[in-house]
Chain A
Amino acid sequence: MIKLAERICLLGLVASVAVLTLTALPVLWGSHLMGNTLLVHMMASGVLVFVLPALAVLWLMRTFCIGEAVGSASQLENIGFWATVVTGLLAIVTVFVCMLPVASTESMHLLVSIHAYAGFAMVPAVLLFIFGAIRLRRTKSMRSTTPG
């Protein structure tokens, strides 16, 4: 059950990060996020803020309660996971502060810049996490199918 939930969350994470990255690409060329692009970006962010903490809880449960971590594949997944959490947290916090009536325009520009860097940094982090997770599954499945 936990595995299924984790897989659904993982799928949600990959999909949301993909959409968020694609919609944010124009920023790299100096454009501003607005209109329908911003609308889709905001919708995808709703998925992210839900699946990322859910995934974190499930991952913690699997790692600490069930103790499934194995070998170097686990190391790769570990690094990917924590990098995803850190960059994701940074991306979410910066946009959250922007939503509160506290940041001035200048501060908001800074926050949005950090948000963009953190968001783009999340892409390799998620890739690492996925790659590690897949490798871990393969390792486990090889061990379970190897006789003796």
Chain B
Amino acid sequence: MLTSPFLRCFFPSRSVSCSKRRFPAKKLPFVIFQSVAFVCVAVGISTDGDAADSRFSRADSDTRMMHHIDLYDYDNKKITAESETPYSPLMTCGRCHDYETISHGWHFNAFLPGTNDGRRGEPWIWTEPRTGTQLPLSYRDSKGLFNPNDLGVSPWEMTHQFGGRIPGGGVAANQTPAVGEEDNGEEDNGEENNEESVAAVDDPRSERWKLSGVLQIDCMVCHASPSVYDFNARRDAIDDENFAWSATAGLRLGTIDGNVSRIKDGSDPDDEAIQAKLPKVTYDARRFSPDGTVFMDLIRHPSNNACFQCHSQRTVDEHGIESRWIHDQDVHLRAGMQCSDCHRNGIDHNIVRGFEGESDQYDDPSVRVAMDTLTCVGCHIGPEHIGPEHIGPEHIGPEHIGNDQEVELSIRETAIPSRAGRLGSPMPEHAGLPAVHFERLACTACHSGPISRGEAIGMMTSFAHGLGVKEHRSGQELPRIIAPVYGLDDDGKIYPQRAVWPAFWGTVVDGALTPIDPSMIYDLTRKSLRVRKGFVEELVTPQLSRTELKEVLGEERSSVREHEWTDEEATKVAAAQKVAGEKLFNEKVAATLVGLQDTLEAEQAVYVSSGFIYRLAADGESLEKMDANELKNSEAVEMVSWPLAHSVRPAGWSLGVGGCLECHSDGSVIFDSTLQSVGPGPDQTPAITMAEVRGTSANQVLLWNQLFGGRKLFKFLIAGSIGVLCVTLLIGIGTLASNLVNRRNNVT
């Protein structure tokens, strides 16, 4: 009975069954070594991409490679139509492709030791609607984000929660760094990881790996032809804890019977009764050719459809999710481009993210040039920071050798591969736009993101809201994300960003706030909160009872349907809901905090939402707000933001196209549009302007606006000034000429 034998090679309890051989647990290191050796030798380790030296053969043609291939299971056994085990991407794809190198790519490497954290991106937001939790997590080091390891969230739980949006590998493959090794900068190798994986199973939930299997990097998630891969089937499999079966489910190679989620915690995977409960695959015999191979319909460059599975977004206004037809999508896509035209990668799968300065981490000049010309500036205008590699060999001088030069290069001086215009990109003139704007604003500030309407609006993303899954969404689902927020990034430029305020239950010990493991919080708060579906709907804005409605609307109007209410009535009901919600929120949250303090034996339990910290008042029964300054880590409750790049709008829809006053006047989007904290809790911080978010004083903005208010008049003044000076100059020239003529006449 081979269920997930490859896993059992790594997670033995008493003994290990591996390819019909049984190893006692004490031989585990040997098993690990053997397995790693297999991965390294059979799969091969190649990081330099040197095809000639690599054991991986290549087609080296632009043509599409036909993949009629044999499938192999996790035990490296060939799969036939009669097999019952799921196919393993590692054993199947890894035979010909450098899985080890690929596994260090951006989509898989978040936790690996020595990995560059890169520019901050969208965090994983652990959302639990019944407890009002929206907690931004990341294995990468970024301000305001919580590391799951610090909160006690096991890799298995992260995989179960977010696996539907992880292409596999890394944390989802249970490759966990040992404590203290996260930042040691040492080169990772599979052996270390796998040893650590075994060491990391002290968490009871981590025992589930033995049953669920791991999420190996599923190449077909990105490389399947459009409409071939069933992402929802894969997500369903992951929801059912059938991790190892998800790749098979996604390709619909057969039907999968059985759910690991139905097997109790603590079950012995070696127990035959338990093994009998593990899922079984019934392969679709029609997928197998007479020679036993299966046609894998795949493409080299991932299609937009694959990217959209995890990188879609929708805007939300006061009426709910905005209709798709009123939006134009990204201008590049509308022009016929693909995501992968700019977001490219080599075999290392370090996909170009396309922000300025990204290439700094690479030493290879050709890589730097290629990456620099894939940024907005590099592609449309030319590389921003000029290095020797960007200068044509005939123009390079000793002054160019060394650090990056802040020099202007003409098109002739620029080396051809560094020039703008890649893929036929138009070169914008930015006529009349003072160059200082390029020092203060990222391209995306004017060209990307949802068009602001005076205040940041709601956003939904695939990562956070599971877009792509068939559900009934109102747009008010947690987590509440807003955009665009025009904040400063590390380079001092203004970027449009998305933002979320952490909402979670936590404990304060010695002034330090720490969230409670979000995977435990429902069980901990269930009895006191008594929320069945939604924290917001049931506690913060509860439905009014018929009696309460009668009090608010009167006998006659209380029976009419909600959509028939007048605006005044709706306002009255909302106000009554708010009052009822505040009472209920205070009552339930206070009771829950008491319960948490008792259960966890914590000095102080708190609930955090929208930048507010709620704690028990001195009476021990009611709530009071705690000042964030009382915390040592007040950033734990602050807004978390990350830059957004898409959708890029066409030039005509950019900010500032209407002239200087579009931004330098009262009420402008980039200075005076506002944002307000949002979250499951009942309170919101007062609205603040984008200028305040960036720390710019209102007086300074006002001064600039007033200066620009008189700009038109100033232009006339300058024109008049130029006219007078020109006339003066003409008179001077005339006088000079006259004097010269007179002098000449006098001489003659």
Please report A residues at the B interface, Cβ cutoff 8 Å. Answer: 30, 32-34, 36, 38-39, 42-43, 46, 49-50, 52-53, 56-57, 60, 64, 82, 85-86, 88-89, 92-93, 95-96, 98-105, 108-109, 112
**Separation of A86 and B735 alpha carbons in the complex (Å):** 15
User: Is B435 in contact with chain A by the CB < 8 A criterion?
Assistant: yes
Whether B38 is near chain A, meaning CB under 8 Å from some CB there, is: no
Candidates A43, A50, A96, A98; contact of B434 at CB < 8 Å: A98
Closest to B717 in A: A49
Docked-complex contact B430 and A39, CB < 8 angstroms: no
Most chain A beta carbons < 10 A, residue from B408, B431, B725: B725
Q: Is B432 within 8 A of A103, CB to CB?
A: yes
Find out whether the CB atom of A36 lies under 8 angstroms from the CB atom of B700: yes
Chain B interface size, under 10 / 10 to 19 / 20 to 34 / 35 or more: 35 or more
CB-CB nearest in chain B for A48: B721
* Bound Cα distance from A58 to B240, whole angstroms: 89
Known A30-B406, A53-B728; judge A102-B714 contact (CB<8 A).
no
CB pair A49 B718 closer than 8 Å: yes
**A92 to B435, Cβ gap below 8 A?**
no
Check B406–A89 contact: CB distance below 8 A: no
Residues of B within 8 A of A95 (CB): 718
Q: Does B48 contact A (CB under 8 A)?
A: no
5 chain-A/chain-B pairs, Cβ below 8 angstroms: A57-B728, A85-B728, A96-B715, A96-B719, A104-B430
Q: Which of B385-434 contact A (CB under 8 A)?
A: 406, 408, 428-434
Q: Decide: A82 near B732, CB < 8 A? Known: A49-B717, A56-B725.
A: yes
Q: Specify which of A30, A38, A60, A105 is in contact with B728 (CB 8 Å cutoff).
A: A60
In the assembly, what is the distance between CA of A95 and CA of B726, in Å?
16
Residues of B within 8 A of A96 (CB): 715, 718-719, 722
B661 within 8 A of A: no
How distant is the Cα of A39 from the Cα of B703 in the complex, in angstroms? 9
Q: Is B273 part of the contact surface with A, judged by Cβ < 8 Å?
A: no
Return chain B residues, CB-CB under 8 Å to A102. Answer: 431-432
Picked from B406, B438, B721, B732, the residue with its CB within 8 Å of the CB of A50 is: B721
Give residues 708-723 of B contacting A (CB, 8 Å). 711, 714-715, 717-722
* B729 is an interface residue with CB less than 8 A from chain A: yes
State which of A36, A46, A92, A109 has its C-beta within 8 Å of the C-beta of B725.
A92
Select from chain B the residue with minimum beta-carbon distance to A81. B732
Evaluate contact between A105 and B721: CB separation under 8 angstroms. Answer: no
Q: Mark B715-745, 1 if CB is under 8 A from A, else 0.
A: 1011111101110110110010000000000
Q: Which 9 interchain pairs have the tightest Cβ spacing?
A: A101-B432, A53-B724, A104-B429, A56-B728, A49-B721, A89-B725, A53-B721, A105-B430, A101-B431
Nearest opposing residue in chain A for B723, CB measure:
A53
Cα distance, A49 to B431, chains bound together (Å) = 23
CB of A53 within 8 A of CB of B381, answer: no
Q: Do B732 and A85 touch (CB < 8 A)?
A: yes
Contact of B440 with A by CB under 8 A = yes
Which of A30, A32, A92 touches B718 (beta carbons < 8 Å)? A92
B126 CB → nearest A CB, Å? 40
Q: Which one, B430, B711, B720, B731, contacts A53 given CB within 8 A?
A: B720
Does A50 lie within 8 Å of B722, measured CB to CB?
A: no
Q: Does B707 contact A (CB under 8 A)?
A: yes
Indicate if the CB atoms of A105 and B715 lie closer than 8 Å. Answer: no
Chain A residue nearest to B715 (CB atoms) is: A99
Is the pair A57, B431 in contact by a Cβ cutoff of 8 Å?
no
- B interface, by DSSP: helix, strand, loop or mixed? helix
**Chain A CB within 10 Å — which of B429, B703, B720 has the most?**
B429
Query: Shortest Cβ distance from A107 into chain B, in angstroms?
Result: 9
Is the beta-carbon distance between B722 and A39 smaller than 8 angstroms?
no
B724 touches A32 (CB 8 A): no
* Cα-based distance from A108 to B731 in the complex (angstroms): 30
The answer to whether A46 and B714 touch across the interface, beta carbons within 8 angstroms, is yes
Q: A36-B700, A57-B724, A109-B435 are in contact. List 13 more A-B contacts (CB 8 A).
A: A34-B439, A38-B436, A42-B707, A52-B721, A53-B721, A53-B724, A82-B732, A89-B725, A92-B725, A96-B715, A96-B719, A104-B429, A108-B435
Asked if B432 and A99 sit within 8 Å, CB to CB, the answer is yes
Neighbouring A residues of B717 by C-beta, 8 Å: 46, 49-50
Give chain B residues whose Cβ lies under 8 Å from the Cβ of A49.
714, 717-718, 721
> Which residues of chain A come closer than 8 Å to B432, judged between CB atoms?
98-103
Q: Are B438 and A39 in contact (CB under 8 A)?
A: no
Inter-chain CA distance A112–B432, complex, in Å, is: 12
Q: Which residues of A contact B430 (CB under 8 A)?
A: 104-105, 108
**For B700, what are the chain A residues with a Cβ–Cβ distance below 8 Å?**
36, 39
Q: A92 to B432, alpha carbons, bound, how many Å? A: 15
Distance in angstroms between the alpha carbons of A141 and B431 in the assembled complex: 53
Shortest C-beta distance, B89 to chain A (Å), equals 47
Knowing A49-B718, A93-B722, A96-B718 touch, does A105 contact B729 (C-beta < 8 A)? Answer: no
Chain B residues with CB under 8 A of A86: 729
B261 to chain A, nearest CB (A): 57
> Chain B's nearest CB lies how many Å from the CB of A46?
7
Contacts A39-B703, A39-B707 known; A32 to B436 CB distance under 8 Å?
A: yes
Q: Which residues of A contact B381 (CB under 8 A)?
A: 105
A105 touches B722 (CB 8 A): no
Q: What residues on B are CB-neighbors of A38 within 8 Å?
A: 436
CA distance A78 to B634 in the complex (A): 66
CB distance from A111 to the nearest CB of B (A): 10
With A and B bound together, what is the CA distance between A102 and B429 in angstroms? 9
Q: Give the CA-CA distance A86 to B732 in the complex, in Å.
A: 11
Q: Is B295's beta carbon under 8 Å from chain A?
A: no
Closest-CB distance, B310 to chain A (whole angstroms): 35
Give the shortest distance, in Å, between A113 (CB) and chain B (any CB): 9
Chain A residue at minimum C-beta to C-beta distance from B700: A36
Chain A residues within an 8 Å CB radius of B659:
101
For residue B704, CB closer than 8 A to chain A, the reply is yes
Report the minimum CB–CB distance from B381 to chain A (whole Å).
Answer: 7
Q: How far is the CB of B478 from chain A (nearest CB, A)?
A: 39
- Measured CB to CB, the nearest residue on chain B to A110 is B408
| Chain B residues in 8 Å Cβ range of A42 | 707
CB-CB under 8 A from B726, the residues of chain A are: 89
- CB-CB contacts of B187-212 with A at 8 A, as 1s and 0s? 00000000000000000000000000
Pairwise interchain contact A85-B725, C-beta atoms closer than 8 A = yes
- Option from A30, A50, A89, A109 in Cβ contact (under 8 Å) with B729: A89
- B719 to A, closest residue via Cβ: A96
Complex Cα spacing A109 to B56, Å: 50
Residues of chain B within 8 A of A85, CB atoms compared: 725, 728-729, 732
- For A92, give its contact among B408, B703, B721, B728 (CB under 8 Å): B721
Q: Closest chain B residue to A57 by CB distance? A: B724
Report Cα–Cα, A108/B435, bound state, in Å.
Answer: 7
Min Cβ gap A56→B in Å is 4
Minimal beta-carbon separation of A101 from chain B (angstroms): 3
What chain B residues lie within 8 Å of A30 (beta carbons)?
406
B704 touches A33 (CB 8 A): no
A53 and B716 CA atoms in complex are apart in Å by 14
Report A-chain residues with C-beta under 8 Å of the C-beta of B408. Answer: 109
A111 to B725, CA, bound (A): 19
Chain B residues near A46: list those with CB within 8 A. Answer: 714, 717
